């Protein structure tokens, strides 16, 4: 028969594993289904609600990627901290669970834990409060999730998006993630202790909580096992109750204490709360709120339409809200930018699949979703002029990797087909602003080009024909005529 502590421990580990698996599943689902199919990881992070709080209170809206469900989770987490101290950290937070797993791996391999000198540890704790102030200041000022690129949880949630997206959007977050996990082999819960901004706000709120770990000095045998196991280096064995709100409510000390009922959760040291009851109460408050708000119809995690996903707080569609998981077709329709403009601007194949996600179109061509965002901004401002003046740093050469779309440069056999499909006006529309890439798309081979110009075709496909002509002392009009003649069937 399992005793109370073992049952509580199993229940706690089960809960943490369940939340971690659920959070991982939801994050992967978002990568597969895209922004309209499944909510992004920020929606389920209460800290996103805190970043959106100013916007919410001032304008009744949300910063991009945040939904009503995030605000509900924030409210529930605040209530949890006030009632049950840092139960969110000890029972729910999946990043805390990941660190706990690495801590246990370290223990399994008998890796000696680092004990930071108490004075240093005390000051290191302040780092997260400084971080919290900076993040909130910029989030509220800019109206965006400024912490996201540095957030190890956001990095974890985007692992399924692939290395490229992690590298481009979450490089620092990935470094923090690796440091938090690998570091936990020696320094348990190091991210919680020193850097987590959510932990900082919960520690502040937990000061209001009547719930603490208490120690019965009469039965304590002063073995100090609790001190040694505590992941935040709290000296429990010398005090009647754990006053510091750096305590993660993880229960490790309760689990290890050899004398039953010597360490326990309690309300102001007067009412003892069984560990299992503490866990059940945590789950009831947290998941019960989700259930109730779902039934009330106010729990909302994803966008009902692309238009909604693209809107900012003012109700305007904003290219900055374009996600790589939106399709080319959707983006084209929502911003009234013709598909053809994308094809010409990025030298996409004429038969590019409009139902493909932007990130899947972009990556094989060494592009980023950001390139599409910038182009749309430019197109909305300049119209067609944005199509013929590509951003110089954008390289549109396909990589050697097998692309999700057909290569931009047609093979000789494809040339005639594409040339036939391309309108006569397009075929002959060779001007000074025509790019080398467009010539390739029209079917011009490098050999033909060299035969006409006596110069190798430039590698830079964004180069304008007029710049090429002037750099090589060629008459633009003559060159234009020769190129048109060579392209005619």
The residue ranges that bind ligand SF4 (CB under 6 A) are 213, 215, 220-226, 230-232, 234, 236-237, 242, 247-253, 256-259, 262-263
Minimum CB–partner distance for residue 105 and ligand SF4 (Å): 18
Cβ closest to ligand SF4, residue 15 vs residue 237: 237
CB of 127 to ligand SF4, least distance (A): 18
What gap in Å lies between CA 26 and CA 93, rounded to an integer?
15
Phi, psi dihedral angles at 15 (to 5 degrees): -65, -45
Min dist CB 230 to ligand SF4, Å, is 3
Q: Tell me whether residue 70 or residue 262 sits nearer to ligand SF4 (CB atom).
A: 262
Q: Which is nearest to 346 in space by CA: 253, 451, 437?
A: 437
Nearer to ligand SF4, 38 or 257 (CB): 257
- In the bound state with ligand SF4, the residue whose beta carbon lies nearer, of 262 and 293, is 262
Write down the least CB distance from residue 202 to ligand SF4, Å: 13
Nearest to 192 by CA among 138, 127, 241: 127
Residue 133 CB, nearest approach to ligand SF4 (Å): 24
Instruction: Return the SS3 of 453.
Output: helix
CA distance linking residue 372 with residue 332, whole number of Å: 10
Nearest approach in angstroms of CB 209 to ligand SF4 is 13
| Nearer to ligand SF4 (CB atom), residue 266 or residue 293 | 266
The tokens describing 77, both together, are: 């987490």
Q: Residue 97 or 262: which CB sits closer to ligand SF4? A: 262
Nearest distance in Å: CB 255, ligand SF4: 8
What does the block give as tokens for 179?
């440091």
H-run or E-run covering 273 = strand 271-273
Q: Angle CA(74)–CA(79)–CA(85) in degrees, nearest 5?
A: 110
| DSSP-assigned letter for residue 270 | T
3-state secondary structure 50-64: HHCHHHHHHHCCCCC
The least distance separating ligand SF4 from the CB of residue 216, rounded to whole angstroms, comes to: 8
Nearer to ligand SF4 by Cβ, of 56 and 91: the residue is 91
Element (H, E) at 267: strand 263-267
User: In angstroms, rounded to a whole number, what is the distance separating the alpha carbons of residues 425 and 428?
Assistant: 5
- Give the span between the Cα atoms of 439 and 78, in whole angstroms: 60
d(CA 328, CA 356): 6
Of the two residues 30 and 214, which places its CB atom closer to ligand SF4 in the complex?
214
Of 95 and 263, the one with the shorter C-beta distance to ligand SF4 is 263
Q: Is 141 exposed, middle or buried (0-12, 13-18, 19+ CB in 10 A)?
A: exposed
> Which lies closer to ligand SF4 via its Cβ, residue 260 or residue 477?
260
Ranges assigned E (strand) in 105-258 = 211-215
Dist. CA 213–CA 297, nearest whole Å: 37
Min CB(117)–ligand SF4 separation in Å: 18
Nearer to ligand SF4, 70 or 233 (CB): 233
Q: Least distance from C-beta 357 to ligand SF4, angstroms?
A: 43
> Looking at beta carbons only, is 230 or 326 nearer to ligand SF4?
230
Buried b (16+ CB within 10 A) or exposed e, 55-69: bbeeeeebbbbbbbb
CB 229 to ligand SF4: min, Å: 6
Give the nearest distance from C-beta 52 to ligand SF4 in angstroms.
Answer: 29
- CB hemisphere CA count around 359 (13 angstroms): 18
Distances (CA, A) of 36 to 49, 52, 334, 342, 435: 20, 21, 14, 22, 36
Structure token pair of residue 322: 């374009």
| Minimum CB–partner distance for residue 194 and ligand SF4 (Å) | 14
Closest C-alpha to 278, from 96, 19, 92, 46: 92
| Smaller CB separation from ligand SF4, 215 or 317 | 215
Residues 149, 154, 156, 157, CA torsion sign? negative
Q: Output DSSP code: residue 161.
A: G
Distance CA 135, CA 148 (A): 10
């Amino acid at each position: 028969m399992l005793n109370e502590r073992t049952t509580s421990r199993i229940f706690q580990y089960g809960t943490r594993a369940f939340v971690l698996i659920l959070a991982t599943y939801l994050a992967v689902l978002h990568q597969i289904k895209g922004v309209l199919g499944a909510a992004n990881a920020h929606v389920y992070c209460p800290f996103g609600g805190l970043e959106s709080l100013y916007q919410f209170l001032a304008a009744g809206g949300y910063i991009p990627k945040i939904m009503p469900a995030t605000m509900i989770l924030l409210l529930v987490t605040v209530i949890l901290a006030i009632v049950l101290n840092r139960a969110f950290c000890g029972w729910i937070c999946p990043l805390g669970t990941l660190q706990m797993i690495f801590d246990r791996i370290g223990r399994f391999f008998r890796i000696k834990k680092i004990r930071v000198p108490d004075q240093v540890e005390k000051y290191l704790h302040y780092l997260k409060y400084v971080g919290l102030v900076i993040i909130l200041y910029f989030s509220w000022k800019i109206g965006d999730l400024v912490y996201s690129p540095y957030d190890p949880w956001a990095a974890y949630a985007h692992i399924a998006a692939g290395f490229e997206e992690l590298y481009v959007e979450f490089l620092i977050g990935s470094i923090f993630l690796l440091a938090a996990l690998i570091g936990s082999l020696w320094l348990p819960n190091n991210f919680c202790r020193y850097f987590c901004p959510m932990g900082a706000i919960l520690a502040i709120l937990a000061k209001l909580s009547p719930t603490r770990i208490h120690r019965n000095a009469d039965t304590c045998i002063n073995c100090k096992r609790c001190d040694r196991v505590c992941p935040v280096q709290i000296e429990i064995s010398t005090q009647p109750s754990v006053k510091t709100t750096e305590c993660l409510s993880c229960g490790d000390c309760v689990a290890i204490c050899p004398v039953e009922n010597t360490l326990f959760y309690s309300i102001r040291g007067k009412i003892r709360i069984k560990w299992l009851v503490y866990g059940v109460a945590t789950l009831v408050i947290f998941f019960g709120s989700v259930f109730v708000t779902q039934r009330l119809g106010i729990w909302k995690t994803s966008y009902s339409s692309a238009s909604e996903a693209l809107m900012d707080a003012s109700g305007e569609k904003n290219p900055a809200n374009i996600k790589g998981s939106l399709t080319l077709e959707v983006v084209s329709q929502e911003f009234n930018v013709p598909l053809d403009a994308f094809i010409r601007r990025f030298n996409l194949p004429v038969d590019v699949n409009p139902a493909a996600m932007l990130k899947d179109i972009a990556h094989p061509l060494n592009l980023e979703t950001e390139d599409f965002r910038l182009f749309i901004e430019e197109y909305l401002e300049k119209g067609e002029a944005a199509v013929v003046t590509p951003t110089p740093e954008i390289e549109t050469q396909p990589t050697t990797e097998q692309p999700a779309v057909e290569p931009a440069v047609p093979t000789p056999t494809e040339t005639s087909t594409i040339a036939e499909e391309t309108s006569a006006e397009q075929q002959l529309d060779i001007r000074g602003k025509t790019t080398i890439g467009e010539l390739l798309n029209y079917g011009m081979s490098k050999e033909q080009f060299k035969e006409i110009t006596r110069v190798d075709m430039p590698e830079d496909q964004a180069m304008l024909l007029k710049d090429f002509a002037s750099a090589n002392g060629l008459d633009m009009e003559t060159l234009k005529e020769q190129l048109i003649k060579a392209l005619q069937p």
